[in-house]
Amino acid sequence: MTSNAARADILTRALRARVDGDGDAIPELYTDDVKAWGPALSASSAADLVTEFKRQDEAFSEVMLDVVPLDVGGDFACAEWHVTMTHTGPLVLAGGATLEPTGVRINVHGTTIAEFRDEKICGLRQYWDELSIFEQLGLLTDG
């Protein structure tokens, strides 16, 4: 079993790989049968994760990630994170409508829980408010 510090590092590297769209990091960080879910993410294998990582949204750039591991023990690690990004490309919405770039800087806060098998992540759950992005872009109105 890997140390708590090593698992915190693995989770942080996995979150950075997701933000960077680095599918090449998946075999090193995840088991082949990894299960992952969260807003805008669903995977039941490492191959599914590669597909998800390649499906980067080109609507946002200047993406910055801050990660703070909160609790690591046994087979689990939890981290809180903050992403900032700028809306610089067309964003395709449900129904095919497109929101042209606004230049708005977006802030998203979330939590990720990882389950480990040996030194790799075998389960990943992410929690964040996907609608907060739409709210910051002015797509949600009161009333």
pTM value is: 0.87
pLDDT of residue 142: 63
pLDDT digits (tens, 9 = 90+) for 62-93: 999 999 988 888 899 999 999 999 999 998 88
Closest listed residue to residue 61, CA positions, set 103, 15, 100, 17: 103
- Give CA–CA dist 79/82, Å, rounded: 10
* Upper half-sphere CA count for residue 143 (Cβ side, 13 Å): 0
pLDDT of residue 1: 56
Give the pair of three-digit tokens for residue 120. Answer: 């790799």
pLDDT digits (tens, 9 = 90+) for 90-127: 988 878 889 999 999 999 999 999 999 999 999 999 99
∠ Cα 105 42 127 (to 5°): 50
* Upper half-sphere CA count for residue 34 (Cβ side, 13 Å): 30
Q: Is the pLDDT of residue 143 over 70?
A: no
Sketch the domain layout of the chain as residue ranges: 4-136
Query: Topology of domain 4-136, per CATH?
Result: Nuclear Transport Factor 2; Chain: A, (3.10.450)
Q: How confident is the model at residue 54 (pLDDT cuts 50, 70, 90)?
A: confident
